[in-house]
């Protein structure tokens, strides 16, 4: 039968993610990949999860396998409330909503807030998964100007003063893709602006525990609690395959999010929530986190050193104190799609940065590099080759066209590709 | 801040489920509850899940805890392909999409197919969770006339001939709430009609394995494979808390469903999918299912016998060969909201049937009774009291008003209430 005629209007807005082919190429044998966006398998506490499974079955028995409250498993919500005190967030567990990864919050936010044509203000570049979550609700986007410290408060104020944005979406700490972190003074300025303009901010904070140096910064949620939906996850510090995210939202928003979640998946896996509760309650996160940091810290250092060593002087990059990504910007005229093609021929993969911009044609001279999956040696080798490829791509030959090559048109299928 | 002004148009269509208060009342100590819609805790293979957890960690290691494909964990998809052969469904595992409960399919179907105002054809009464999943996409509903054997093919043909329905949603086997099952001749007639009118059918089939007597019937999917999205779940025969559902959809629909799922939750818990794969592959479902049937069969028998014994002669009820529910219809003029109030005063709870109708005012004389949670003795006692309450509610006193009592206006929060 002809199914196309059955599709809803909104469905044409669900674009197929274009980086699928890149991640397919990146996973070919022999490829040195800086393209991924996922935790190293060695960061998962496998043996511990086995122990926790036994504990959960013993402690909660059938309760861990029965239907549960849409809001989440209360022991996990209480454990998270305790966990969040270190981030200067002080809330009772009853106000925390457990979600199926943080992706679930983004979809639900889009569903309750975005009417077709509504404007969302966001960083440029921004997290691809957020664009994909919002897309079915047919938003327009307003890009807020950023520099190497993230969103510029004056630029945010211009967007807020216009009054068009339904809400603002930011990843303030070790942002995906840019690795950038908003310094404290900007967090304060943004909190003040959000309050002054009576606006709503979605603060997506998946990476804050992955800090390899420097001091933790308070989330904007702690500075303007009534105006921020705070979105967190255990995917980077426990195991992403368990799909445990959470959010803290002001009261009426929270009630609508619960209602949406009930229609989407009833609730998040009770067993996995109980595992996460045991992980937090038992102090295992504090014990295990240093192992994860010890795994990633030298890789991040290796990447920053290699960029210094091998990249031309007119290239710039972020120097994040944590997270999973470094963001590279070439000089005027560089087209990273061309660099990508040349790099892949030399068995090195990355993600050209333009994928992370809401406006087509933006970010052609940028790239996202991941340092959590490859080893330090692999990182050094990959960046060395990247430096050679960049030098060989003499500027006069570089195409400046912004059209999408064929490999961007392919259908998206793998969840990992938006990460 | 004033959040109401931020809400999308669609959000006002997300009605708060009205049976929350009923289930809250039903869970009070001392209450004999026939109101629930969930499996008995004794039906969960707890010890086995402990063993399977160890096996999964040993067999799949980090793969069970990493991000995975949106389509699902391949060993589970293959195990389901084998499992479905007994239902006369023959498909390769690659065509099976794993979802976070079957609820996830219903939301995704709504998202890709329903534009505001589009019509969905469904049974009357129908599954409340489907109404809740579709609601944000702002559909209209066309009720298809049913009798004690479920949907009447002539009534379906009238709806299809009108050509207004985007798709048809049915629960053909041991329906929630009516317990009704479409006989084979109607399945064939419906398959023929769906093909003839080039229509799309969503066949929701959560209960088919819970058959206590009689012969299994082929799903409509096996009779019109190109026109049916088949939706299944392991929630009734393994553990609902693991949130494992699945669907088989014709090719283009499947691709859109994957795209939607990517934006909603990236993928379903890898660990739980691996547990389900081991459960199926190891032959544990076949071994465990007889225990579940042995638990529920006498309860269903007890309920049918008690209804015969205690209900007035002018009441009718379904006599399902499986599932979790019996549906009762009173004579003209009975208002089950009144019966409910009187029953609760005598410590017996059920769900008045009108909640399961898309049109307000329909089904006032009906009720849904669950027999999987209470014991046979409790069922007998509860129905005896119900019979007394019904006889005491002499018809002249019964109110015929269709307005919603105050307890129907309360906010819905628990996922279990739509079940």
Residue A50 domain-assigned? Answer: no
Interface test with B, best of A6, A44, A229 (most B CBs within 10 A): A6
DSSP code string of B172-186: -SS-TTT-----HHH
The number of beta carbons lying within 10 Å of the beta carbon of residue A4 is 10
Identify whether residues B309 and B160 lie together within a single domain: no
Tell me whether residue A53 is in a domain.
no
- Tens digit of pLDDT for each residue in B329-342? 999 999 999 999 99
pLDDT (0 to 100) of residue A408: 32
Beta bridge partners of A97: A247
Question: Within an 8 Å CB–CB cutoff, is residue A262 touching chain B?
Answer: yes
> Is A330 inside a domain boundary?
yes
Question: Token pair of A335, please?
Answer: 């087209």
If asked whether residues A106 and A26 sit together in one domain, one would say: no
Same domain, A151 and A275: yes
Give percent above pLDDT 70 in chain A.
92
Q: What is the CATH number of the domain that holds A332?
A: 3.90.1150.10
**Pair A9, A75 in one domain:** no
Whether the CA torsion B135, B140, B146, B151 is positive or negative: it is negative
- pTM, two decimals, is 0.92
pLDDT at A346 over 80: yes
Domain count, chain A: 2
A226-244: string of b/e by CB count within 10 Å (b at 16+)?
Answer: ebbbbbbbbbbbbbbbbbb
CB within 8 Å: B118 and A8: yes
pLDDT in the model for residue A57: 96
pLDDT at res. B70: 92
Element housing B121 (H / E): strand B119-123
Residue whose entry in the numeric block shows the structure tokens 């080798």: A381
> What are the tens digits of pLDDT across the range B260-304?
999 999 999 999 999 999 999 999 999 999 999 999 999 999 999
Given this model, what pLDDT does residue B406 score? 32
* Co-location of A360 and A245 in the same domain: no
| pLDDT of B135 above 80 | yes
Query: Model confidence at A14, in pLDDT bands (50, 70, 90)?
Result: confident
List the CATH number of the domain containing B123.
3.40.640.10
The structure tokens listed for B55 are 């096996």
Tokens of A153: 């408060």
Residue A349 CA to residue A36 CA, distance in Å, equals 9
- What is the length of chain A? 419
Averaged over B134-146, what is the pLDDT? Answer: 93
pLDDT in tens, A165-182: 999 999 999 999 999 999
Answer for the pair B111, A136: CB distance below 8 angstroms, yes or no: yes
Instruction: Give the Cβ contact number of residue B404 at 10 Å.
Output: 12
The verdict on B347 and B391 lying in the same domain is yes
Asked whether the beta carbons of B138 and B117 are under 8 A apart, the reply is: yes
Query: How does the average pLDDT of chain B come out, rounded?
Result: 91
Instruction: Measure in Å the smallest separation between the Cα of A393 and chain B Cα atoms.
Output: 35
B91 and B192 co-located in one domain: yes
Is residue A274 domain-resident?
yes
Instruction: Report the DSSP beta bridge partners of residue B121.
Output: B142, B168
Relative to beta strand A165-170, strand A119-123 is parallel
Tell me, what's the pLDDT at A22?
Answer: 73
Under 8 Å between Cβ of A413 and B69: yes
Within a domain: residue A137?
yes
Residue pair A315/A66 in contact (Cβ under 8 Å)? The answer is no
**Residue B126 belongs to domain spanning:** 47-285
Q: What is the pLDDT of residue A280?
A: 98
Establish if A256 belongs to a structural domain.
yes
Indicate the Cα dihedral angle B325, B326, B331, B333, nearest 10°.
Answer: -20
The reported pLDDT for the residue numbered A15 is: 67
Residue A31 belongs to a domain: yes
Residue A60 included in any domain:
no
Pick from A70, A132, A243: CB nearest B415: A70
Q: Does the structure show a pLDDT above 90 at B100? A: yes
Among A223, A251, A282, where does a domain finish? A282
B363 and B236 inside one domain: no
Report which DSSP code applies to A62: G
Confidence of residue B402 (pLDDT cuts 50, 70, 90): very low
* pLDDT at site B401: 46
Measure in Å the smallest separation between the Cα of A309 and chain B Cα atoms.
33
Assess whether A261 and A397 both reside in one domain.
no
At residue A17, the pLDDT reads 63
Q: CB B264 to CB A104 under 8 A?
A: yes
Averaged pLDDT for residues A279-290: 97
Which chain B residues are Cβ-neighbours of A237 within 8 angstroms? none
pLDDT of residue A1: 74
Q: Does residue A181 sit in the same domain as residue A272?
A: yes
Specify the pLDDT at position A398: 44
A250 with A349, same domain? Answer: no
| The pLDDT value given to residue A19 | 66
% of chain B surpassing 90 pLDDT: 83
Question: Do A266 and A318 fall within a single domain?
Answer: no
pLDDT given for residue B4 in this prediction: 79
In this prediction, residue B14 carries a pLDDT of 76
Instruction: Give me the mean pLDDT over the A56-68 stretch.
Output: 95
Q: What is the pLDDT of residue B415?
A: 40
- Looking at residue B16, its pLDDT comes to 63
Query: How confident is residue A117, by pLDDT bands cut at 50, 70 and 90?
Result: very high
Residue of B194, B243, B276 best to disrupt the A interface, most CBs of A under 10 A: B243
Q: How many CB pairs under 8 A join A and B?
A: 296
Q: Residue A36 has what pLDDT?
A: 87
Domain end call among B285, B300, B331: B285
ipTM of this complex prediction, to 2 decimal places: 0.92
How much is the average pLDDT of A41-52? 95
Q: Which of A257, A282, A307 is the last residue of a domain?
A: A282
Of B11, B42, B198, the CB nearest to A256: B11
- Lowest model confidence (mean pLDDT) among A38-42, A411-415, B68-72: A411-415
Give which of A356, A416, A418, A343 is closest to A386, Cα–Cα: A343
Angle at B291 between CA B287 and CA B297, to 5 degrees: 135
């Amino acid at each position: 039968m002809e199914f196309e005629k059955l599709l809803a209007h909104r469905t044409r807005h669900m674009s197929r993610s274009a980086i699928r082919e890149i991640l397919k190429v990146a996973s070919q044998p022999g490829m040195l990949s800086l393209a991924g966006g996922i935790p190293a398998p060695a960061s998962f506490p496998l043996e511990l999860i086995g122990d926790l499974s036994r504990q959960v079955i013993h402690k909660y028995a059938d309760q861990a396998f029965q239907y549960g409250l849409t809001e989440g498993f209360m022991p996990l919500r209480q454990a998270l409330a305790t966990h969040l005190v270190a981030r200067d967030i002080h809330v009772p567990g009853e106000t925390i909503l457990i979600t199926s990864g943080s992706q679930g919050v983004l979809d639900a936010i889009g569903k309750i807030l975005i009417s077709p044509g509504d404007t969302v203000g966001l960083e440029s570049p921004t997290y691809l998964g957020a664009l994909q979550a919002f897309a079915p609700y047919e938003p327009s986007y307003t890009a807020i100007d950023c520099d190497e410290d993230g969103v510029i408060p004056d630029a945010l104020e211009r967007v807020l003063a216009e009054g068009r944005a339904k809400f603002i979406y930011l990843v303030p700490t070790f942002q995906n893709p840019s690795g950038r972190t908003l310094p404290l003074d900007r967090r304060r300025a943004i909190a003040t602006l959000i309050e002054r303009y009576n606006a709503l901010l979605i603060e997506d904070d998946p990476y804050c525990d992955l800090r390899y140096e420097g001091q933790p910064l308070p989330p904007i949620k702690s500075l303007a609690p009534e105006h921020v939906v705070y979105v967190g996850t255990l995917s980077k510090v426990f195991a992403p395959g368990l799909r445990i995210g959470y959010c803290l939202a002001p009261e009426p928003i929270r009630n609508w999010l619960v209602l949406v979640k009930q229609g989407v998946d009833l609730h998040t896996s009770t067993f996995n929530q109980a595992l996460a509760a045991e992980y937090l309650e038992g102090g295992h996160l504090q014990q295990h986190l240093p192992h994860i940091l010890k795994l990633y810290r030298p890789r991040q250092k290796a990447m920053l050193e290699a960029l210094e060593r091998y990249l031309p002087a007119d290239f710039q990059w972020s120097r994040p104190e944590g997270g999973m990504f470094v963001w590279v910007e070439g000089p005027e005229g560089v087209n990273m799609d061309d660099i990508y093609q040349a790099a892949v021929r030399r068995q090195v993969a990355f993600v050209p940065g333009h994928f992370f911009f809401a406006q087509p044609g933006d970010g052609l001279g940028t790239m996202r590099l991941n340092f959590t999956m490859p080893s330090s040696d692999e990182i050094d080798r990959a960046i060395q080759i990247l430096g050679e490829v960049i030098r060989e791509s003499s500027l006069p030959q570089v195409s400046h066209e912004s059209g999408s090559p064929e490999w961007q048109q392919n259908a998206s299928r793998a969840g990992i590709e938006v990460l």
